[in-house]
Amino acid sequence: MIKLHDKLFKPFLGETRILNAVQKMASDIAEDYKDDVPIFVGVLNGSFMFVSDFLKAYEYPCEVSFVKLSSYQGLTSTGIVETLLDVSENIEGRSVIILEDIIDTGRTLQKLVNLFSGANVKEFKIASLFYKPDVYNGEYVIDYVGLEIPDSFIVGYGLDYKELGRNLKEVYQLNQTNMINLVLFGKPGAGKGTQAGFLKEKYGLKHISTGDVFRFNMKNGTELGKLAKSYIDKGDLVPDEVTINMLKDEVEKNSDAAGFIFDGFPRTTAQAEALDNFLESKDMKIDATIALEADEDVLVARLLERGRESGRSDDQDESKIRNRFDEYNQKTAPLKDYYSKQGKFHSVNGIGQIAEITERLAKVIARFS
Ligand code: AMP
C-alpha cells in the first residue's frame, strides 16, 4: 500500500503486465501502419510514460507530437476540459494516431476529436492504454485498447493523484476498504434527510438523496426533471431505470468521497440489486442499512407541516402522502428481508429529539466502522 497526499492506494497492475500491453498495441498498430509514416500524438501529462515505451516498441518510421488537455482536479473529472497545448500545424493529409493514457467517461476524448476535426487529416485513430468500459459514454470508437479496467481511480505509470504518483512504474488503485456506505431507510417524513445531514458531517460522507436530485432537476426544468415530475406529483415512484442511472451518475461524480449515505435509494428490490452490482463493480459495498421507524399518523402530521413551510407539492395533500406510504409498504418494505439476509439491516426508533436519534444511529455505525 502507498500513500499519496491523504489517500491510500494498493498495487493493481505490475510493470510486466503494462509493458506487455504496450508492446501488443505497438505491434497491432504497426501491422496497420508500417507502410505509412503516422504521427503519434500523445496526450499530456498522463501519457508521457506510455508514449515513451510505445515508441521504443514501434519499429517503423513515425513522428511524435503532443497535445495537452486537462479535466481532472484531484480524483474527480471536473467535466470542463481545457486545451493547454494545441495540435501542431503540419498534420494535414497525415495519419494521426492519438495515444491516450486512459479513457474513462470520454469527455476529454470529445474535446480531442474536436481539436482534430478541422485539420483535414488522412486518417484519425484513437489508441488508449487503459480503458474503463463501465463508464465510457461510447461516443467514438476506440481503435486500439491496451487494458480494460474497472472504474476505480488509478495512479502510476504517468497517471497522478494531485500531481503525485506519475513516476511509479506500476499502477495502483485507490483503496476503498475503509469507506463507509450507508443506506437510510424510512417512510417519507421519518427524518432521513435531517439525520443524513448530521451523519455526513460526523463521518465525512457524501449524502445522495434521490428525492433532492429529482427536485433539483425539476426546479431547473431539465428533461429528467420533466420526466420525474409526473410521478412525484402523484406520490408514485419514478421508474427504476431512470432512478438507477441517475444514482450511478451521482456516485461517479463523487469518486473521491470517503463513503456515501444513500437516502431514498434503493426503494425497490430491483434498485437494491442494481446498487449491489454497481458497487461491486467499483470494489465497494453497502456496510449497513438503517431504518428510522415511525408511526404513519405521526408522519402525516410532520409532512403536512413540512408542506406548509417548504411548499413541496407532494407534502401538502394527505391522500398523496398516504399513497407514498403505500408505495413504501408495497415496494420498499420488502428490502428489509433483502438486507437482513445479508446481515446488514438495523432499525432505530425515529421518534424523539433529533440529537437523540443521531446518537442511536451513531451507535449502530460504531458496530461496523
Ligand atoms: P423523497 O424526497 O425521498 O421522499 O422523494 C420524493 C419523490 O421522489 C418520491 O415520492 C418519488 O416519486 C421520487 N423518488 C425519490 N427516490 C426515488 C427512488 N429511489 N425510486 C423511485 N422514485 C424515487
Judge whether residue 188 has pLDDT over 80. Answer: yes
Nearest CA residue ID for atom 11, ligand 1: 237
For residue 359, what pLDDT is reported?
A: 95
Overall average pLDDT of the 244-252 stretch:
92
Overall average pLDDT of the 306-313 stretch:
88
Higher-pLDDT residue of 187 and 176 is 187
Give the chain's mean pLDDT: 91
Residues 6+ apart with CB under 8 A from 281: 134, 150, 151
Omega prior to 188 cis, within 30 of 0: no
State the distance from the centre of ligand 1 to the C-alpha of 134, rounded, in angstroms: 26
Judge whether residue 340 has pLDDT over 90. Answer: yes
Residue 237 CB less than 6 A away from ligand 1 = yes
Higher-pLDDT residue of 151 and 154 is 154
Quick one: pLDDT band at residue 213, thresholds 50, 70, 90?
A: very high
347 vs 190: CA distance, rounded Å:
12
Pairing of the two strands 180-185 and 171-174? unpaired
Dump pLDDT digits (tens) for 48-104: 999 999 999 999 999 999 998 765 555 555 555 666 666 776 788 999 999 999 998
Residue 191 CB less than 6 A away from ligand 1 = no
Dump pLDDT digits (tens) for 324-334: 999 999 999 99
Question: What 3-state DSSP class applies to 224?
Answer: helix
Overall average pLDDT of the 266-283 stretch:
92
Judge whether residue 337 has pLDDT over 70. Answer: yes
Higher-pLDDT residue of 150 and 86 is 150
Judge whether residue 133 has pLDDT over 60. Answer: yes
97 vs 198: CA distance, rounded Å:
51
Quick one: pLDDT band at residue 312, thresholds 50, 70, 90?
A: confident
Omega prior to 45 cis, within 30 of 0: yes
The residue type of 322 is R
Quick one: pLDDT band at residue 121, thresholds 50, 70, 90?
A: very high
For residue 282, what pLDDT is reported?
A: 81
Q: What φ, ψ does residue 204 adopt, rounded to 5°? A: 65, 40
321 vs 188: CA distance, rounded Å:
8
How many Å from the N-terminal Cα to the C-terminal Cα in the chain? 20
State the distance from the centre of ligand 1 to the C-alpha of 185, rounded, in angstroms: 12
Residue 332 CB less than 6 A away from ligand 1 = no
**Owner of C-alpha cell 439525520:** 195
For residue 227, what pLDDT is reported?
A: 94
Quick one: pLDDT band at residue 260, thresholds 50, 70, 90?
A: very high
For residue 284, what pLDDT is reported?
A: 87
Question: What 3-state DSSP class applies to 20?
Answer: helix
Set of cell numbers at residue 361: 444511529
Residue 91 CB less than 6 A away from ligand 1 = no
- Of the candidates 158, 172, 248, 174, the residue with the CA atom closest to the CA atom of residue 210: 248
Quick one: pLDDT band at residue 298, thresholds 50, 70, 90?
A: very high
Quick one: pLDDT band at residue 151, thresholds 50, 70, 90?
A: confident
For residue 81, what pLDDT is reported?
A: 60
Overall average pLDDT of the 27-44 stretch:
96
Percent of the chain with pLDDT over 70: 95
Nearest CA residue ID for atom 6, ligand 1: 211
Quick one: pLDDT band at residue 257, thresholds 50, 70, 90?
A: confident
38 vs 269: CA distance, rounded Å:
52
Q: Which of 103-117, 161-175, 196-210 has the lowest mean pLDDT?
A: 103-117
Percent of the chain with pLDDT over 90: 73
For residue 218, what pLDDT is reported?
A: 94
Which of 210, 219, 263, when mutated, tests ligand 1's pocket best, judged by the most ligand atoms within 8 Å of its CB?
A: 210
For residue 253, what pLDDT is reported?
A: 84
Q: What is the pTM of this model?
A: 0.67
Residues 6+ apart with CB under 8 A from 81: 69, 70, 71, 107, 108, 110, 111
223 vs 243: CA distance, rounded Å:
13
Nearest CA residue ID for atom 5, ligand 1: 211
**Owner of C-alpha cell 408505495:** 327
177 vs 330: CA distance, rounded Å:
34
For residue 71, what pLDDT is reported?
A: 58
State the distance from the centre of ligand 1 to the C-alpha of 224, rounded, in angstroms: 13
Overall average pLDDT of the 331-344 stretch:
94
